[in-house]
Chain A
Amino acid sequence: MAASLSSAGTVRLLSALARSSLLCSSSGLRGLHVTAACCKNRAARIRIGKGNKPLTYEQALHPHHIGHRKGWLSQHTSNLKGEDGAADRTVEDVFIRRFMFGTFHGFLANEIVLKRRGNVLIVCAIMLQKMLPQKFYFLIGYSESLLSHLYKCPVKLEIQTLVDKAVYKYI
């Protein structure tokens, strides 16, 4: 919704500016056009570029596709109607994602999927084959035991490895 300043209501402003010789130039008065604020959706969207940026399926689809073309990254029952504990689960999820991102820095091929079944917390991740298997096993054991001690519940890591990131499209 663009409103041009040369409309009737703002003629006084222009004339005042003209008197103070701010807008006065050799060609006379000039109109100034402003638009209303256009708040575009920026949530979980990667802006298009030249065509050289690879995107995974998860990154390529926007959040309004969740439930239709995308799945859920964190599966628990606290967001259902009549269930509570949503805030606690969300905080735990954020911490676990940051922890995994830091422990396996540069090795994650995709977002981490968290599943809660009863008391058990299952962390599913896809890694790249950049490390020796012994180091991988050590890090997996370390994160499992540390997270179990932190959250006082059994935490299992289910890891799959890929050679390269799975590219869905280039943007």
Chain B
Amino acid sequence: MAAPTALKRELLPLARILGGISHLKPRSLTVCSGHRKCSVTRSCLPLTPSTSFHTATFLSSSPSAITVTEEPDTLFQKLLVSVKSHDSAVLDSYEFFATMAAKELGITIGKVFEPPKDIKRMTLLKSVHIFKKHRVQYEMRTHYRCIELSHITGSTAKVYLEYIQRNLPEGVAMEVKKTAMEKVPDHILKPLWEDVPAEDKPGQ
């Protein structure tokens, strides 16, 4: 009962705004009436004192249902997350974020280290034509950061990696290496030579 009246209240100012805007177009030729209409619309429109237009649309995703299956979860002995970027400050903040997320989720962090950076240098001719003695040098730096997580289950790894990857900053590339643990096959559990002496005796 309250909903239709609330909707009506919302629609009235909208109608006023739309009416005001539609009035603007044919009356733009006459200056004084245009001014009057302008002031009317400006009072209707929400005045934004801030200087930013936030037009990014939020992606609404439906919450994923929790599935329970009978098969055992994969176990990872080691999960190596390595990120690379041109900016080491961005990697610093991302490392802080990832380690904090792992600590909050209760994941054991093995080690966090920084492999040495790679610099690719190019020496090119400065001029389009001749002037061989004048060159210009460019370089591209790639910084790395590695986070090693140990003894993690498959579902935890999925959740953690999805969270990490959704918040990956622009200009940062990620590589994940997983070391899974598998059950030892039954046929190699016992050594062969325990059964062999019983067969060898008739041969001798």
Which A residues contact B (CB, under 8 angstroms)? 37, 39, 41, 43, 67, 71-72, 75-77, 79-81, 83, 115-118, 122, 129, 133-134, 136-137, 140-141, 144, 156-163
Contacts and interface: CB of A to CB of B under 8 A. Distances in A.
B142 A80 contact: yes
- Interface of A, helix, strand, loop or mixed by DSSP: mixed
A81 B118 contact: yes
Interface of B: 21, 45, 51-57, 84-87, 118, 120, 126-127, 131, 134, 136, 140-142, 168-173
Contact of B171 (A43, A77, A160, A162): A77
Nearest to B174: A77
26 contacts: A37-B131, A41-B136, A67-B87, A71-B87, A76-B171, A77-B171, A77-B173, A80-B84, A80-B85, A80-B86, A80-B173, A81-B84, A81-B140, A115-B171, A117-B169, A122-B56, A136-B53, A137-B55, A141-B55, A156-B57, A157-B55, A158-B56, A159-B52, A160-B51, A161-B51, A161-B52
Given A41-B136, A81-B142, A115-B170, A159 B53 contact: yes
B166 to A, nearest CB: 9
Contacts of A158: 54-56
Nearest to B165: A118
Contacts of B142: 80-81
A134 B21 contact: yes
A3 to B, nearest CB: 14
Given A133-B53, A156-B56, 18 more contacts: A37-B134, A39-B126, A39-B134, A41-B136, A43-B136, A67-B86, A67-B141, A72-B86, A72-B171, A79-B140, A80-B86, A81-B120, A116-B171, A129-B51, A156-B55, A156-B57, A159-B53, A161-B51
A139 to B, nearest CB: 11
B81 to A, nearest CB: 15
A140 B87 CA distance: 30
Given A80-B173, A159-B55, A72 B87 contact: yes
